[in-house]
Amino acid sequence: MSSLARGAGLMMALRLVERSIGLASTLILARILTPDDFGLVAMAMSVLTLIELMGAFGFDVALIQRQDAQRHHFDTAWTYNVLFSASVALLLLVCAPFAADFYREPKLQLVLSVLAIGALVQGAENIGTVTFRKQMNFGQEFRFLLSKKLISFSVTMVLAFTLRNYWALVGGIIVGKLCAVLLSYKVHPFRPRFSLAASRDLFHFSKWLLVSNLIVFLQNKSDSFILGRTVGAHDLGLYNVASEIAVLPSTELIAPINRAAFPAYSANAANLDALRSKFLSVFGFIGLLAFPMSIGLACVAGPAVAVLLGPQWAAAVPLLQLFTVCGLTSAIQSNLIMVIVALGKPKANTMLSGAMLVLYLPALAYASLQYGALGAAWVHLVMSCVVLVPLHIVFLRMTGLSAARYFGALWRPLAGAAVMGAVVLLLQRQLAGAAQPWPALLQLLVCICAGAISYVTMVLTLWHAAGRPAASAEGTMLASVAGRFQSA
């Protein structure tokens, strides 16, 4: 567990640094660029992501899950990545004029044509860097991923202050992919060769990941397609920025935990007792972070948007509040899926996601056409909650984990977050309704401090009342903090 904890810590540190960079980038760009700029790039990325799905076989996951992967497996994965990337670039050029007509946005044709450059070079990235995760060498991966982020950020910022339009976002994407390829060969000695020798082995596992990735795309990006057509670039920009900020707890805190946990889950797939133990340790920690982050962000959405994005983004507040709950359900869902995939059963998740998609797409189309961006956000929220029910049934049956042990890892963070939310909402109402209303920045800072204090107090009180279980996430975290103080 120590190596997993160190790996999760490094991945979380990376994500915190990356998110600090990414958040700073978003905040700066929101002041320089307009919702229309963000919306135009969102349209382009929706088309790009859809085309990229033709090669989304998840070969990196297959190489990690397969404990006996040899050189020819890595060579085959890299060869397919190169071939798929070339195909994506060609399709982007062909589809660019049709996409521009569909969205009634002439600028989109040139944007997609330029993005084809990035798609072409991306596939050549060194597949050897997958071994960083496979061998749990998270220090190397930390440096590799952080370097890519810093380069992309620097380029985007220079272009933003120079061009002051959407080309800053496009340029940052392309240069980031090019630098990622060059850097991958510098940080890892593996030199891939063209080979298709392991095609059968890789596709046997990855075929279901491809279908699953397609379904995930339709679940997460179909709203961008529809809104880009029905409400235009401005409202799509509001929608996408609100969504990006709202899911920070799942994408930037929980995702690195899953990234570090997946190799450990895979290594223990044959031992369900050990797998259940590791899952509960990781999942308790996820709950400890995700519940307060998501609920807290929903409670302070108003002053947060005013302070961080500016008045031109005020219409994003209700969208942000809805998406924070979606981020919380995603944090829970993602770790369950990691365990299912580690057990070598990606088909189960694929079939479940496909069934939910049959309900999701018609509801999304109707709500977005009738109620615009807010209607689409409500559908996204409802479906993200509904899917948790069958997913938990499948997960508990596969792992043999009892519902009591599962919910035992979550109830204290959930109760603490509920109390925190009540405190923050009450305090915010009083501050806003004062005879001399407090500035938004001061409201935000006071609410964050009060929320943090109330959450920590409530969770620790419940932990003490439960007998201070050492194996809990709270016990592990407190022991780690105490150890650091003693070593210092």
Q: What is the pLDDT of residue 208?
A: 61
Domain identity same for 206 and 268: no
Taking 80 as the threshold, does the pLDDT of residue 162 lie above it? yes
Supply the range of the domain harboring residue 276: 247-477
Of the listed ranges 251-255, 266-270, 308-312, 348-352, the one predicted with least confidence: 251-255
Instruction: Determine the residue type at 155.
Output: V
Of the listed ranges 38-42, 253-257, 468-472, the one predicted with least confidence: 253-257
Pick the more confident residue, 469 or 253.
Answer: 469
- Dihedral over alpha carbons 474, 479, 485, 487 (to 10 degrees): -150
Are the C-beta atoms of residues 237 and 37 closer than 8 Å to each other? Answer: yes
Residue entry with tokens 């985007």 = 156
Best CA proximity match to 456, nearest among 425, 485, 415: 415
149-184 burial code (b ≥16 CB/10 A, e <16): bebbbbbbbebbeeeebbbbbbbbbbbbbbbbbebb
**% of the chain surpassing 70 pLDDT:** 84
DSSP-based three-state secondary structure for 70: coil
Residue 234 placed within a domain: no
Last residue of a domain, one of 191, 225, 259: 225
Residue 123 placed within a domain: yes
Domain identity same for 265 and 346: yes
Domain identity same for 303 and 377: yes
The whole-number average pLDDT for the span 377-404 is 90
Pick the more confident residue, 164 or 485.
Answer: 164
- Dihedral over alpha carbons 416, 422, 423, 428 (to 10 degrees): 140
Q: How many domains does the chain have?
A: 2
Q: At residue 437, what are phi and psi to the nearest 5 degrees?
A: -55, 135
pLDDT in tens, 89-118: 999 999 999 999 988 888 999 999 999 998
The whole-number average pLDDT for the span 51-77 is 72
Pick the more confident residue, 317 or 4.
Answer: 317
The whole-number average pLDDT for the span 69-92 is 86
Q: What is the pLDDT of residue 416?
A: 94
Last residue of a domain, one of 194, 225, 256: 225
Residue 317 placed within a domain: yes
Q: What is the pLDDT of residue 451?
A: 93
Across 183-192, 418-427, 466-475, the highest mean pLDDT is recorded for: 418-427
Distance CA 5, CA 13 (A): 12
Q: What is the pLDDT of residue 1?
A: 46
Residue 376 placed within a domain: yes
Q: At residue 124, what are phi and psi to the nearest 5 degrees?
A: -85, 0
Residue 460 placed within a domain: yes
Instruction: Determine the residue type at 214.
Output: L
Domain identity same for 343 and 207: no
pLDDT in tens, 400-415: 999 988 998 889 999 9
Neighbours of 146 (CB within 10 A): 16
Rounded alpha-carbon distances, angstroms, from residue 308 to 25, 79, 314, 317, 427: 11, 43, 11, 12, 20
Domain identity same for 274 and 187: no
Residue 238 placed within a domain: no
Taking 60 as the threshold, does the pLDDT of residue 2 lie above it? no
Domain identity same for 4 and 122: yes
Taking 70 as the threshold, does the pLDDT of residue 466 lie above it? yes
Domain identity same for 17 and 128: yes
Q: What is the pLDDT of residue 103?
A: 86
Q: What's the whole-model pTM score? A: 0.67
The mean predicted confidence, pLDDT, of the chain is 81
Residue 482 placed within a domain: no
Residue 242 placed within a domain: no
Label residue 49 by pLDDT band (50, 70, 90): confident
